[in-house]
Amino acid sequence: MRDLLPFIILGLTSGSAYGLAGVGLVLTYKTSGVFNFAFGALGTLAAYVFYSLNVSHGLPWPVAALLSTVVLGAVLGYVFELFARHLSHAALAVRIVAMLGIVLVIEGAFLLAHGTESQTFPTFLPDNRFKVFDAYVSASQLIIMGLALVLTLGLYVFLHRTRLGMAMRAVVDDPALLDLAGTRPATVRRIAWMIGTVCALMSGILLAQSTNLDPVTLTALVAQAFAAAALGAFASLPAAYAGGLAIGVLSAILTRYASSSEYLAGLPASLPFVVLFGVLVVLPRRRLATRLQSIPLPRAAWTAPLRTQIFFCLAALAALAFVPQFSGDHIGQWAGFLAVAIMFLSLGLLVRTSGQVSLCHAGFGAIGAVAFSKLATDAHLPWLLALLVAGLVVVPIGAVIAIPAIRLSGLYLALATFGFGLLLQNMFYNTSLMFGLNGYGVPMPRPHLSWLDLESDTGFYYVVLAVLAAATATVIALTRTRLGRLLRALSDSPRALSMGGTSVPTTQVLVFCVSAFLAGISGALLGVSLIQVDPTSFNPTLSLTYLALIVLAVGGPPWYALVQAAGLMLIPAYVTSGSVGYWLQIVFGLFAVLLIFSPQTRQVPRWVRLSSAGIARLLGERDTGPVPAAPDAAPDPGEAGLPSPSGAAERPAGEGLRVDSLRVRFGGLVAVDHLALAAPAGEITGLIGPNGAGKTSTFDAICGLNPAAQGRVQLHGRDISRSSPPARAAAGLGRTFQQMQLYDSLTVLENVQLGREAALAGRGPLNQIFAGRGRHVIDRAAREALHLCGIADLSDRVVGSLSTGQRRLTELARCLAGPFDLLLLDEPSSGLDAHETEAFGALLRRVVATRGVGILLVEHDMSLVMDLCDHIFVLDFGKPLFAGSPAEVTASDLVRSAYLGTGGPMAGTDRVDASSGNDSHVRVEAQ
Ligand SMILES: Nc1ncnc2c1ncn2[C@@H]1O[C@H](COP(=O)(O)OP(=O)(O)OP(=O)(O)O)[C@@H](O)[C@H]1O
């Protein structure tokens, strides 16, 4: 034990800095929902500012420390809060990439100014040493430990004992309420960002005492902060601090024991990632739940028709085939460019098509390269076979990485993949499993044929071009298959897809596997273009650049891949100044930061549109033209003829939904308390109550979207309380959402078809890939649902361009196209005008009468509810308040005083919106 003491002291010192970083990270994440990936970069910045003030400009260290932590932290915290506010409306990948942009800019600027050599950082704290048992502890170490402890305790007391601190905790749960209470949520968040940023800056300076001024090491501080925050379940400050200490101490002890072993030498440095990954895999899902809406990536407003796309792809192929004629000595770099284009295709499928994120694609590339080398040189497999098997080797690794994706939201997936990339580098790059003991590198042989020269630079260039063409064809074909449709739906609304009956985890694993396969192939080809690969060829930071570039890109495959690969590979090939790589990193970073101003729909340049329209005409293909502006009114659903019901099995009366003792909690808030209700088949049942009464929470619990909900849910007599959302959908439960969950980038027809196709895709991987013979069932169900809702004429319109009323009808049509016989409709008439609402009511009645389905309806339009419902349940503050027929509910004093108000007109032709729950807010629209 005594010989461990020096290591424990060292570990407590660095752990204090990690703990402080973790505390700052948790604070900003809790208050804004934005994960600060630039945390380590901020630490680097502070260390550099301190260094230049203290060493270069001779300022006394206390002044330099104050300026580089408190003053800089206040300024940066202010800016970051503005930044985070903008980002809260952006897609997850944009949120991550904008933060990564800051990392790229700071690190690139630092490397430009100082190169890769680390600078000696001044030891400004007193260094007198004291003996503790057999070990020595210095005053500076004690100060660092004391400072982190005092700051953490101070913050804890501040958050729990002061008004502002409590406001900071409340801002996460209910910013609107905070606003009503007279405290501005923006101010509260700004102060939280300032404090969090000061923590990041302080931990950077404290760590630089032992690591010196090295941007790469300091930027990696973010990993320790992530791991510490993970140990605090991303919520508890004291636990994050303790987690930081534990990581520091454990790393130091491991250094003592593991440094002599080939495979364990990298473990101390990898510990944060092991911890991070472990926590993400084992922590209960509800602890990591976020209230963030899923927002898809910005999309192009238009795509060229298929034949035109193929024409342009062939033209690009012909142009690329011409490259060896002029590339001269650069031909090897051109081959590298094509290989990296495959990497972008792989990442594009994951990020742009399915809306997932990955920060470990460089790692996948490294594994592919090493696997290829071993298969081709040691196992003597034929070249092409070795290439394909190398891709396959990466597939199971991609599937394992997708595990956090299955359990958690995309943000945690980003963290897990980031951790995996760094873990791979720290633990395996420099072992004989990968690049050899000293990272010496592995040989990458070229293909050999006796009758064709493929070994020369030009021959190999054509081989990579052929593989790129095959990869492009695969990706384009895949996006047109069932899996492609599911991936696009996944990107737009995972909740809708899951409620439609598709097992989203299966889809996520599938796309990860395909993407990992292509990344492995790309890594192998890039390696062969370099002849020999070593750890520097696949630095994990590259993954950050890949993700930033793929999110920045415009256009479809292969255009985004070619453009971004050209930026990354060809510019440095032709601009040979030593610092061009750093400049590129800064420029990419700046573009990534500017992404926050990018509109949700990206316009395609006019010249691209015009030239494509010309080619389409030549090819006899119809260009669908721009997305037309959305008309305001939806067509009258009543005009559509009523086709015969399809799909939904008719149920005998009496069967339906039963809910008992339902309880939903969000932290200390009980949103639904011991609710019991029944929604029989063949009837419309109402669920009403004031805003915040718990209606949507009830729906989420019934559908299985809130796994933490307690109570019993039965559908047609079968207990589905423990079933997943797709399993409940398969049992017959369909759903529309208050915040509409549509596949905005798809057309109305595709949305409605997915209502049936998502159910057919189900949970099996094969069903998700191959459509089989279900096409006619899908088409028939979609046609019927479109006619039933009266929106057949909108079939070709992209849903994102529709009016609210048309979107509501599309969501209903998608639900009706599915094989569901119990429908949960959450405020389906909101956004419809009086005329549309009336037609909508008639439509629901016909659906019930002809299909025998049951409907549980949440509505604030009291006239509609009273008109349609056979039975009504009233909720108030999560508790059942009253249940009865419309007449009984109307007559109830209890309901009137709690929800409907005392003089609210509910009879006759007046429309009443009781959403605000009291007289003064009742909206009356005379017809
Ligand atoms: N994910 C969540 N995390 C924390 N609190 C939540 C969450 N979802 C809902 N709540 C809270 O639970 C309570 C019930 O919300 P819910 O959305 O179920 O009410 P509602 O009756 O559907 O309201 P509305 O009529 O406005 O849609 C509210 O106080 C809300 O703030």
The whole-number pLDDT of residue 918 equals 40
Query: Residues of CATH 3.40.50.300 domain(s) within the chain?
Result: 637-925
Dist. CA 361–CA 253, nearest whole Å? 31
DSSP class of residue 907 equals: S
Locate the DSSP E strands across 192-259.
none
| Cβ-Cβ contacts under 8 Å for 704 (sequence gap 6 or more) | 720, 723, 724, 725, 727, 728
Domain 331-598, architecture per CATH: Orthogonal Bundle (1.10)
| Cβ-Cβ contacts under 8 Å for 275 (sequence gap 6 or more) | 227, 230, 231, 243, 247
The whole-number pLDDT of residue 272 equals 85
| Mode of pairing for the β-strands spanning 532-533 and 442-443 | antiparallel
Q: Tell me which residue has its CA closest to atom 4 in ligand 1.
A: 666
Task: Output the CA 340–ligand 1 centroid distance in Å.
Answer: 46
Q: Is the CB of 291 under 6 A from ligand 1?
A: yes
Query: Residues of CATH 1.10.3470 domain(s) within the chain?
Result: 2-121+128-287, 331-598
Number of the ligand 1 atom closest to the C-alpha atom of 174: 31
User: What ipTM did this prediction achieve?
Assistant: 0.97
DSSP string, 499-556: HTT--HHHHHHHHHHHHHHHHHHHHHHHHHHHSEE-GGGG-THHHHHHHHHHHH--SS
Q: Is the CB of 742 under 6 A from ligand 1?
A: no
Q: Is the CB of 123 under 6 A from ligand 1?
A: no
Task: Output the CA 729–ligand 1 centroid distance in Å.
Answer: 23
Q: Is the CB of 693 under 6 A from ligand 1?
A: yes
The whole-number pLDDT of residue 903 equals 46
Terminal-residue alpha carbon distance, the chain = 84
Q: Tell me which residue has its CA closest to atom 1 in ligand 1.
A: 291
DSSP string, 694-716: SHHHHHHHHHTS-TT-EEEEEET
The whole-number pLDDT of residue 255 equals 85
Task: Output the CA 843–ligand 1 centroid distance in Å.
Answer: 29
Correct CATH for 637-925 of 3.90.226.10, 3.40.50.300, 3.40.50.720, 3.30.43.10: 3.40.50.300
Task: Output the CA 859–ligand 1 centroid distance in Å.
Answer: 15
Task: Output the CA 858–ligand 1 centroid distance in Å.
Answer: 13
The whole-number pLDDT of residue 523 equals 97
Task: Output the CA 695–ligand 1 centroid distance in Å.
Answer: 8
Q: Tell me which residue has its CA closest to atom 25 in ligand 1.
A: 691
Q: Is the CB of 696 under 6 A from ligand 1?
A: yes
pLDDT tens digit sequence for 557-594: 888 999 999 999 999 888 877 788 888 889 988 988 88
* Side-chain-side CA neighbours of residue 431 (13 Å): 17
Dist. CA 532–CA 534, nearest whole Å? 7
Helix (H) or strand (E) holding 475: helix 457-480
Dist. CA 642–CA 651, nearest whole Å? 20
The whole-number pLDDT of residue 70 equals 93
Q: Cα separations (Å) of 466 from 321, 459, 462, 473?
A: 10, 11, 6, 11
Number of the ligand 1 atom closest to the C-alpha atom of 860: 25
Q: Tell me which residue has its CA closest to atom 30 in ligand 1.
A: 692
Task: Output the CA 694–ligand 1 centroid distance in Å.
Answer: 6
Q: Cα separations (Å) of 296 from 301, 405, 490?
A: 14, 16, 9
Q: Is the CB of 917 under 6 A from ligand 1?
A: no
CA angle 874, 879, 880 (to 5 degrees): 40
> Which of 691, 697, 740, 881 best tests ligand 1's pocket when mutated (most atoms within 8 Å of CB)?
697
Q: Cα separations (Å) of 368 from 343, 361, 430?
A: 11, 10, 16
588 CB-contact burial (10 Å; exposed 0-12 / middle 13-18 / buried 19+):
buried
Task: Output the CA 76–ligand 1 centroid distance in Å.
Answer: 34
Task: Output the CA 670–ligand 1 centroid distance in Å.
Answer: 10
The SS3 assignment for 679 reads strand
Q: Cα-Cα-Cα-Cα dihedral of 486, 779, 741, 714, to 10°?
A: -90
Task: Output the CA 381–ligand 1 centroid distance in Å.
Answer: 59
Q: Is the CB of 706 under 6 A from ligand 1?
A: no
List beta partners, residue 299.
601
State the sign of the Cα–Cα–Cα–Cα dihedral 468, 474, 477, 482: negative
Q: Is the CB of 124 under 6 A from ligand 1?
A: no
Task: Output the CA 70–ligand 1 centroid distance in Å.
Answer: 38
C-beta separation of 863 from 852 below 8 A: no
Task: Output the CA 289–ligand 1 centroid distance in Å.
Answer: 14
Dist. CA 209–CA 659, nearest whole Å? 60
C-beta separation of 874 from 898 below 8 A: yes
Dist. CA 635–CA 642, nearest whole Å? 15
Number of the ligand 1 atom closest to the C-alpha atom of 289: 1
Task: Output the CA 668–ligand 1 centroid distance in Å.
Answer: 13
Dist. CA 342–CA 513, nearest whole Å? 15
The whole-number pLDDT of residue 166 equals 78
Report the greatest alpha carbon distance in the chain: 93
Q: Is the CB of 175 under 6 A from ligand 1?
A: no
Q: Look up the CATH number of domain 2-121+128-287.
A: 1.10.3470
Dist. CA 193–CA 841, nearest whole Å? 49
> Which of 30, 688, 695 best tests ligand 1's pocket when mutated (most atoms within 8 Å of CB)?
695
pLDDT tens digit sequence for 600-655: 555 666 676 677 677 767 766 665 544 333 333 333 333 333 333 333 334 344 48
DSSP string, 813-855: HHHHHSS-SEEEEESTTTT--HHHHHHHHHHHHHHHHHH--EE
Task: Output the CA 826–ligand 1 centroid distance in Å.
Answer: 13
Q: Is the CB of 666 under 6 A from ligand 1?
A: yes
Walking along the chain (927 residues) 10 residues at a time, the average pLDDT comes out as 81 90 86 79 88 90 93 92 80 83 85 77 81 82 91 88 77 60 76 90 86 69 82 85 92 83 78 83 66 58 71 90 92 95 95 88 96 95 96 94 70 80 88 84 88 87 96 90 90 90 90 95 95 88 89 84 92 83 88 74 65 69 46 36 37 72 86 91 92 91 89 92 92 92 90 93 85 82 90 88 88 93 91 84 89 91 90 90 90 78 44 44 30
Task: Output the CA 697–ligand 1 centroid distance in Å.
Answer: 6
Q: Tell me which residue has its CA closest to atom 16 in ligand 1.
A: 694
Q: Cα separations (Å) of 509 from 346, 517, 887?
A: 14, 12, 51
Task: Output the CA 915–ligand 1 centroid distance in Å.
Answer: 13
Q: Is the CB of 738 under 6 A from ligand 1?
A: yes
DSSP string, 610-647: HHHHHHHHHTT-----SPPPPPSSPP-GGGS--PPP-S
Q: Is the CB of 293 under 6 A from ligand 1?
A: no
Q: Is the CB of 697 under 6 A from ligand 1?
A: yes
Task: Output the CA 878–ligand 1 centroid distance in Å.
Answer: 9
**Cis status, amide bond into 558, omega within 30 of 0:** yes
Phi, psi of 296 (to 5 degrees): -70, 165
Number of the ligand 1 atom closest to the C-alpha atom of 700: 18
Q: Is the CB of 691 under 6 A from ligand 1?
A: yes
Q: Is the CB of 824 under 6 A from ligand 1?
A: no
